Amino acid sequence: MRRNSRALLFLVALFLLSTSLVLTWPRTAEAVCCAFKATETFYFDEAKTQFAGRCIDNPCTGSYSCTGTQTEYSTLTIACCQQCSG
């Protein structure tokens, strides 16, 4: 009985040690987004199936442009256009 409890204690200690090592292992650094490109797409219908126009605001290139028609039906897409170290 005593031998089994020592083996069990050893296994529990080994499990806890390996778990703590995995949790404290350094992770790869992830880049942080510094600027976002916003694209607003306009549609003629509420179902958003008939394309009407698009506006793009891109601070990474310093540009803002619109084409087509701006309507009340739109979707907004935001994406990272510049990553900075963080």
Confidence grade of residue 17 (pLDDT, cut at 50, 70, 90): low
**How far apart (Å, rounded) are the C-alpha atoms in residues 84 and 72?**
35
The pLDDT of residue 29 is 58
Average model confidence (pLDDT) across the chain? 84
Which H or E run includes 4?
helix 2-24
Choose between 20 and 79: higher pLDDT: 79
**How far apart (Å, rounded) are the C-alpha atoms in residues 53 and 59?**
20
Q: What Å distances lie between residue 64 and 51, 54, 59, 72, CA to CA? A: 19, 11, 8, 19
How large is the C-alpha radius of gyration of the chain?
A: 27
pLDDT tens, position by position, 23-63: 666 666 567 888 999 999 999 999 999 999 999 999 999 99
